[in-house]
Every structure is written in C-alpha cells, then in structure tokens.
Structure 1
Amino acid sequence: MAAMRATIVAVAELVSLLAVAGAVTFTARNAASSTAGGKRFNQAVGVTYARKVLSDASAFNWKIFNQRNAGSRKPVGAVSLVVEEMDGVAFTTGNGIHLSAKYVGGYSGGDVKREVTGVLYHEVTHVWQWNGKGRANGGLVEGIADYVRLKAGYAPGHWGKPGQGDRWDQGYDVTARFLDYCDSVKPGFVALLNAKMKDGYSDDFFAQITGKSVQRLWQDYKAKYRGA
C-alpha cells in the first residue's frame, strides 16, 4: 500500500510539472527535410514527437533539479529545435537546440528514434542547467547533461560502465556515472550542485554537499567498482 501511495504521489508530481511546462513554448522544425538525414528524421521521429520530447525533457529536468516553480528556474519562455545539415551530433545555444541531420541519417547503432530522444534530453538540460556563470568546467556541464539522459533511461549501449574513466571531470558518460554515484552518497546531490552553480562554481561544492572532496569521492567511486 505504501509503495502504491508513493507511486501515485510521483505520478501526480510529474503531471503537475508537465502542466507547468504549458507556460513554456516548444517548437521544432526540420530545415533539412530534402536531405537523406532529414527524410529519416521525418520518418522515424517527426517534429510533433520532437516537440513533445522538448516538453517532457524540460519537465524531467525540473524534477531532477528540484525546481518546482518558475522562480527557481532559468527565465526561459521558449525552447526550440531545428534539424539542419551540419557536422557533429547536436549543440545548444541559449534556448535553441540544433540537431544534425547528417548524424540522424548516418546513425547505425539501433533505434534512431530512441537515440534522438536521448540526445534531446541531453541538449534540453543545457537549456535549463546553471553553469556557474561560465566558470564551471565543460566536463562537469556535459556530465550533468548526460546524467539527466541516464536517469531518463536513454543511455546508449556504447556508454562506459560505472567505474570507468580517468578523471571525474572527463565529461559526458564518465562524469554522468560519477555524479550518479555522488547522488547515492547524498540523495539529491545533482539538484543541490546545480543550485549552487547558479551564482558561480568551485570544486569545493562537492565537499560542501557531501562532506568529502571531489577527489576523495572519485577515489571512493573507483574503489567501489575496481575489478568490475
């Protein structure tokens, strides 16, 4: 019964966040529809679904970051996506996400719709996360975005396993796995870290939140998965 009540509460919270997402405008367009990748995007993903992902991913970010009201979030009124012919995978500038039609067209790792969904969860995080007013290192910023993708259930099979990596701030999947460990040490860690990054950044934030330095946390993390 307790588990059922907890599930009902969790669903109610998510529905509430999705309702709040209605205050933000989400748009998507395919500017490469004549290319092979653009055509594949239309067939496998589509702008209607992509627009829904932008909304769902935003609500999921607010949940991860414990931002229950608009006053605790970045003052973003619109999130946009454009699919275009370009190199790379995707990038975000301000509240605008750019997805590579070339990447979509050449993707051969499995379900392209699931892959695009995961990429969009990562990029939407860049819209909403704080970056220490530009002082946080890029590896941590990208790691938080991949952490959100991981917690949303869209981590691709080629990602490194827990415990892998050379540095805590290596970025992307390595840092995402490390942040997941930090969250096990201090539940809500990523939300607390992101909140601190609103006004600046220091590696000491890790110690302020968990009582352990980031290097100590990294050593403990590596030790936990040694031999795995």
Structure 2
Amino acid sequence: MKLQVATVASFVLVALAAAAQAVTFDASNKASGTSGGRRFNQAVGLPYSKKVLSDASAFIWKTFNQRAVGDRKTVDAVTLVVEDISGVAFTSANGIHLSAQYVGGISGDVKKEVTGVLYHEATHVWQWNGQGRANGGLIEGIADYVRLKAGFAPGHWVKPGQGDRWDQGYDVTARFLDYCDSLKPGFVAQLNAKMKSGYTDDFFARILGKNVQQLWKDYKAKFRG
C-alpha cells in the first residue's frame, strides 16, 4: 500500500513538472553592473533561477491542488528581472522583479534566500486574490505559506503562535495558515479555490466550522502551553 501511495505521488509530481514545461520561464539581470547584480550572477545565476520558477510553479499547483490546467490562472510565461531597485521583490501580473540591492545585502546563504523569495513571488503569479477583495495580509500570508511548505523559511521568521493578528501577513499569517491546514489537510488549497470568484472571512467557517477569530484564539492558546 505504501508503495502504491508513493508511486501515485511520484506520478503527480512528474505530471505537474510536465505541465510546467507548457509554461515558459525566463530570467534576466538588468543590474549586472552593480555589486548586488554581480553577486546574483555568482551565487544564483539565470539558469538556476529559471529552474526555480519552473519547480516553484509545479509545487504551487500541487499545494493548491490545481492538477488540471483549467483550475489555474491562464499564464503562458513567468519572468524574472533582477533590477537595481529598493525593497526585496514585487510581482506584477506574471512578472517578478527582484532587487539587486537586497541580494547584495543578504547575510548567509544567498542562493537559499533568493530561492525562498522566488517561491513567494511565484505564488503571487498563480494564486487567486478574491477578485481584489481579499486583504493584503492574507495574500502575503499564503505566499509565505507556500515558501514555508517548500522548506525555504528563513530563521528570522516568527515562531508558531507568535503575532498580533491572523491577517498580519507574511510569516505570521503563514504560520496561522499552517495551523489551519493541520486541522483539515488541503485547507489552503480550498481557501485559494474559493478566492477565485471573491472573498469573505466566512470562508474559514465554511471550510473549518469556526470563524477566523475563534481559530486565531485557538491557535494562540495551543502555542501558549
């Protein structure tokens, strides 16, 4: 039985990887003349970045349970541009923009950190946003949830149970969503699917049977002890 489950899981990953080939992935570095741009070329590189975009997309589809092309956004290409800009990174439509200044200031494993950032930003390419009605904290939290599940959460993130609000965003919301998913595996996939046509906080109650404020209280209580 275990062998059959492993075989099915392997088949799903292979199928998703094949589907990723139907989407094109490209990367360019417009900041090669800066110290951060040179560091990107040395520590990460364009070929590796394109592979990460492909791998991340397949992982996101699996996380969102979007095995069929019709379940996903219609995206033909995902691009990455390294630029001499401030901040960390941002995504507009299907284009990811990474700050060379940020890359230049990373302490520790540059390749792993950039990989994590790309998983986060690639999630923005593929996730639904409730037709613009979902709050930004949840959107960013889902992106960091994907980064967390992919194994690229940095050490400076908050620990489970920390944070002031469920929709505080980023790592705080990612940890909370991980808790919600532990209550009902596939919760985040179901939440994202519902966000295709709109958004309301009631989605939490419809999927998990408790409103989001009660879930947050339960989450905080679990990790206090």
1:69 CA drift (Å): 1.1
Spell out, residue by residue over 1:80-126, the C-alpha distance to the aligned partner (whole angstroms, 9 max, x if none).
00000000000000000000000001111x10000000000000000
Identical aligned residues as a percent: 76
Match of 2:128 in 1: 130
TM-score by length of 1: 0.97
Match of 1:148 in 2: 146
Gaps of 5+ in 2: none
Spell out, residue by residue over 1:191-214, the C-alpha distance to the aligned partner (whole angstroms, 9 max, x if none).
000000001100000000000100
Gaps of 5+ in 1: none
The answer as to 2:78 corresponding to 1:92 is no
Q: Distance in 2 between matches of 1:165 and 1:106?
A: 26
RMSD (Å) for aligned C-alpha atoms: 0.7
Residue 88 of structure 1 aligns to which amino acid in structure 2?
G
Residue 176 of structure 1 aligns to which amino acid in structure 2?
A
Secondary structure of residue in 2 paired with 1:81: strand
Q: Distance in 1 between matches of 2:4 and 2:150?
A: 22
Secondary structure of residue in 1 paired with 2:162: coil
Spell out, residue by residue over 1:14-46, the C-alpha distance to the aligned partner (whole angstroms, 9 max, x if none).
111000011101000011011100100000000
Compare 7-16 and 147-156 and name the one that shifted more. 7-16
Q: Distance in 2 between matches of 1:144 and 1:73?
A: 16
1:5 CA drift (Å): 3.1
Match of 2:180 in 1: 182
The answer as to 2:103 corresponding to 1:118 is no
Residue 96 of structure 1 aligns to which amino acid in structure 2?
G
Q: Distance in 2 between matches of 1:35 and 1:70?
A: 39
Aligned counterparts, 1:1-228, within 5 A:
2-108=1-107, 110-227=108-225
Secondary structure of residue in 2 paired with 1:23: coil
Secondary structure of residue in 2 paired with 1:71: helix
| Number of residue pairs aligned between Structure 1 and Structure 2 | 225
1:3 CA drift (Å): 3.0
Q: Distance in 1 between matches of 2:72 and 2:88?
A: 26
